[in-house]
Chains A and B, each alone.
Chain A
């Protein structure tokens, strides 16, 4: 198939495409040309790489900390156990032993690997997940929810409903601060509740192993939070 446009005309479209301002119709014509013209394909690759360098010119800004917290809360809340990667024939081939002794043992090895593979693909992580229900306090009897502790990851996701937006005494609103209370010692601040991006629920991600703590609790605190609880408790979660 002959190129559907001249290389000179393609050069103009390539530059526009690299900067993201080529319309779809012209893009289709360009696609047809670079599919059959190695020179223009090379030019397009160069133009694409040059344009990709433009963000490097920016002086980096600090992203808001709340953004990271909200994103991680959403992601950890939606994640199930990490999916096992599908085994490919290449993976199996790599495991075929090359020495004679190992080759003789290959059927046994393959049999054992099959049993192990089936076991690893079919087992669930249910034993690695613990859940704890929210117990509302008299100051916020509508609070309900659950804390899910992913044991192997040492991360927990707290999801709570029935929690209103905290009051705004000044320019900034109060916060819901989360505390872990050990068997011995004072409460440790670990997270803030954030409104879920999908609305309705409030969520928090708590990093670390919950074993060794007897209770998780939430209090209302001034903007920015406190090092020790000062406000009323809105709910608690016994961890035993």
Chain B
């Protein structure tokens, strides 16, 4: 139908031309939602495709043929538990969200015969007995800034993005603000790095701006190689322009000639949608020489990784961009002095850069007022494990783990009992039931050996053995060690070997001291940040579940029956197979 046809995209040479295009995009968006037609929206992302989203989309398109129905796709909004999600907006009615839709149900759904699968409606009031979606516990606690348009706009349509305010902050930074003022807003926002380290982004930008060597670069770290995090992938799949805008603003603020986005190679759909976003932005002249007649130039390149966890480390990532093995180097010099091609390079996490648009538009003080004093703003959090309503959420910093687990993520599925929650991916330890009332922010979990990290949590139930889990986490670090420095490349295999001894019932109490000693070597002597935290999950497991380690060693039993103690499997096959 013509109301939602793509707009003609030509190179824009002035601010006025850009603003005129935004007006057209907004008119197109309004026409989409206020016509005499039905709008059917399917959430299509890598997670929902695995559940048949493309078949659902095809079924919708088939059912819409010849009807006054517009079918569109959006990214997945984080509610994995209700995938495949279909939103239906009928004339004069609010949008209704349907969950767990199968392709064959589409005709019924469009005929209004599938109300049992309606999860919620848009807006503040119930409609035909369906409660507002935002009152669902999964959405109730969320404060969506980064995810505001994820699941709302078509990620492959720059028109949708423009109608929802994309590049409005970029425009300000190009024309209204000086680089100093831009950085001052980011500093005032107290925006800390969302990749795990929590380093203030404003400080980093400031050192980047002050660095004297040229050219300078900005890199967005979208590698996300941890075995438990999928937040950045979802932003790429749902709202790529938000990331691109953040990178471009960073380029202008620090005076960088080129921006990069380094995306993990495991994310084909994220790469595809992000490349499309870059192409569209180039077509409009938002990237290139003399952007919108502002006299400012900015270049952009997308680079993809090859499945090496270590490339999430800043210097390794830059080596990977330069086409060599991603192995970290000693610091200083920091990358903001010597990064890509030995030039000053500012590296930020995807989520950090995705907050920039709203910080520039609403002011740093606004952002700092969200969350806690030391950890401002919101955080994307993902969870894994046997929970009822799993998915990606964006919540204010300072929410408690208990609220997250029991309400937002719906508590444990029937038949599973909560045992602990692994925090900080493969870089920190687990927490137990009694720690769940702690607020979640950058600093509140560290004294217990936990960590917010990049916001990935794994809830495990009482069928998971602490020793085996510790081995899994240590084996991950062993596999992903880049082999450059000896403490990490030799130390982690040694830890796995000791753990295997314990798992096979051949451990002794002195092994626990040996683990502590070996870990100390790895922590103190490893070259990069990832090596320095590699033994943390193991140490955390030993701290939280000492009785399980003792049971393996002293009593010769695995309390959960996971480990090969007492079974007939040979050491060689199991150890090899579990890699």
Q: Do A and B bind each other?
A: no
